[in-house]
Amino acid sequence: MTNLEKHLQDQLKALENGQDLESVLQGLPDEAQELAPLLQLAAQIQQLPHPDLSPAQTSQQQQRVMSVARDISASRRTGWKVLKPGWILTGGLVGALVFVLAFIVVAAAGSFAAFTLHNWTTVEVIEAAGVVQVASQDQPERWQTIQSGERMREGERIRSSTNATATLRFSDGSQIALGPSTDLSLVQVERGWDGRLEVVLIQHAGDTLHEVVPFKTRNSLYQVHTPSGTASVKGTHFGVTVDQASGNALFSVTEGSVWIVSAGKDVLLDTGQATLTQPDMAPEEPAYGFQIKGILSAWDDETLVIGGVQLNVSENMLVQGKPAIGEMARVAGHIEETGEWIADLLTSSGGKFQASFTGILEATGDTIWQISGTSVLIDANTKLSGVMMIGDPVKADFIVQDDGQFLATHIRPLDDDDEITPTPSPSATVTTTPDLTQTPTATITPTPTMTITPTATITGTVVPTDTNCTGADPHPTGMKLAQQYGVPYEEIMGWFCQGYGFGEIDLAYGLSRDYSVPVSEIFAMREAGEGWGNIKKYLEDQVTPTPKPTKDREQPTKTPKPTKTPKP
């Protein structure tokens, strides 16, 4: 390969990889400056529509481009100086040379444009497990099976059967993972030489997870339309679930920010938040969310139990696939300001999901943390990442223990992505196509609720009630708390029998210890309807507690207990 040929190949490759023309031209060495017109025209022609070539035609066109470079290089080696001056000045020869050069440039640029356009206006199927089918815009009823390694074109529609999954990858590296029974249309797929990406999708049904690479240009676009709402992003990780029957859609954000628009109203979802949209209705207010994967043991119109956790069911809960009692399932939902967990999605697909939830860090202790009203146990194996302060949004991965308590495996801050600055994008005009049929439902009965466990040392007084409510007598968690806080076992169980979980009891005694306030006053505030976050804030305004360490470590370290000032 000659030097000139190598320069041409390197610069064409740079253009193909999204480098702008100005940078490519600046990278040309002096001895290859004659390639500039070829590269300029190639960049211009790339913006024009070209037919897709077969692999054989593409290979032939590439060979022709490189042949042009070899011819130019050969002419430089033999030297134009062998031509007599009179021949060079001959008008006919000059005109012929100009014509030939123009033809070569146009042909080479057209070949290059057609070669790259195929990759830039299509989407690669990098994984297809189970029956995954594609239909074209011209023949929407003719579904054909697609395999890993094949490509989809703009205007095509893809669907996955029950228990089938697929992953699509765009030319910039962005990906979409399709869950079972999912139906998605590629309305627009386009990428420009300057790195501009324009993607418009319609999700008719099912689950999708999107990993969108941060945009390189301001005029890029990535939108997901559903029957009830539209998501617009600039680079983020998010999920969309659509119920085909009702048109309701659940949007959740794993990383970054997403604008959700429905019925002319919009909301901004930050990392860890979710919202539900319904046709012709404004989106629900963003709330921190959760997801649990486990065995579905009970389910009716009001509650369900999954992985040993009992949840209330939202009125508009989406049901995907065919969830069945005794089988693996996944639930996603939101956490109310009261700390109540509401299920918004039930799917028969467990998928690659870790049980987790997000919320505001309200309190920390040696063996238990409080996040948006939910208590999670901490042990020596719990991984604590980053710096987390009271009031910060965090994410907790957890497992459900046999006694129903949450044991945190990993807690970390929900850091904002500085590179992502979402701005509402104008909605594209889209035309929906016929929906596929889908089956859900099941009706069952619910089972018991979960409780959670504790940490610390204090005093408080309560008249114990009948301990028939405790089950095991003595209850091991009650005994542990009594020993930990140095109070009678009957006192702990008295609060328990009044309806407080062990997690709340532990939190109340911990606050009593830290702020030297009788535990009965703390429970009185709770009884009056105050959330644990508000109670802690109130106590902070009254008393300065012993400062707690920041949590930038792999495992928690014990902190000395503060000196207690007894109340008269």
Residues in the chain: 568
d(CA 96, CA 440): 72
Strand partners, 266: 261
Residue 277 near residue 284 (C-beta atoms within 8 A)? yes
* Alpha carbon 13 to its chain's center: 32
C-alpha atoms less than 13 angstroms from C-alpha of 428 in its C-beta half-sphere: 21
Residue type present at position 337: E
Nearest to 161 by CA among 119, 205, 120: 205
Residue 9 pLDDT level (bands cut at 50, 70, 90) = confident
Name the least confident of 3-17, 88-102, 163-177, 390-404: 88-102
Q: Tell me: the pLDDT tens digits for 292-306?
A: 888 888 999 899 999
Instruction: State yes or no: pLDDT of 45 exceeds 70.
Output: no
Q: Between these two residues, 536 and 469, which has the higher pLDDT value?
A: 536
* Secondary structure element (H or E) that encloses residue 296, with its range: strand 287-299
d(CA 415, CA 550): 16
Q: Tell me: the pLDDT tens digits for 375-387?
A: 899 998 899 988 8
Name the least confident of 77-81, 268-272, 413-417: 77-81
pLDDT, position 101: 52
Residue 210 pLDDT level (bands cut at 50, 70, 90) = very high
Instruction: State yes or no: pLDDT of 388 exceeds 60.
Output: yes
Residue 324 near residue 275 (C-beta atoms within 8 A)? no
pTM of the predicted protein model: 0.54
Q: Tell me: the pLDDT tens digits for 408-440?
A: 999 999 864 433 334 444 444 444 333 433 333
pLDDT, position 151: 93
Name the least confident of 159-173, 279-293, 539-553: 539-553
Residue 448 near residue 421 (C-beta atoms within 8 A)? no
Instruction: State yes or no: pLDDT of 144 exceeds 90.
Output: yes
d(CA 564, CA 487): 14
Q: Tell me: the pLDDT tens digits for 348-381?
A: 765 555 688 888 888 888 889 989 888 899 998 8
Cα separation values, 462 from 476, 496, 564, Å: 20, 11, 20
In this structure, whether the domain defined by 122-285 belongs to CATH 3.40.50.2300 is answered with no
Which segment, 40-54, 72-86, 219-233, 524-538, is predicted with the most confidence on average?
219-233
Instruction: State yes or no: pLDDT of 307 exceeds 50.
Output: yes
Q: Could you tell me the residue ranges of all domains in the chain?
A: 3-119, 122-285, 286-353
Mean pLDDT along residues 225-234: 92
In this structure, whether the domain defined by 286-353 belongs to CATH 2.40.50.320 is answered with yes
Whole-number CA gyration radius for the chain:
32
pLDDT, position 566: 46
- Angle at the Cα of 275 from the Cα atoms of 272 and 280, rounded to 5 degrees: 160
Instruction: State yes or no: pLDDT of 150 exceeds 70.
Output: yes
Nearest to 551 by CA among 363, 375, 376, 373: 363
Provide the percentage of residues in the chain whose pLDDT is more than 90.
26
Instruction: State yes or no: pLDDT of 339 exceeds 50.
Output: yes
Nearest to 181 by CA among 200, 170, 201, 166: 166
What is the largest distance, in Å, between two alpha-carbon atoms of the chain?
118
DSSP per position, 530-542: --HHHHHHHHHHH
Mean pLDDT of the chain: 75
Instruction: State yes or no: pLDDT of 245 exceeds 60.
Output: yes
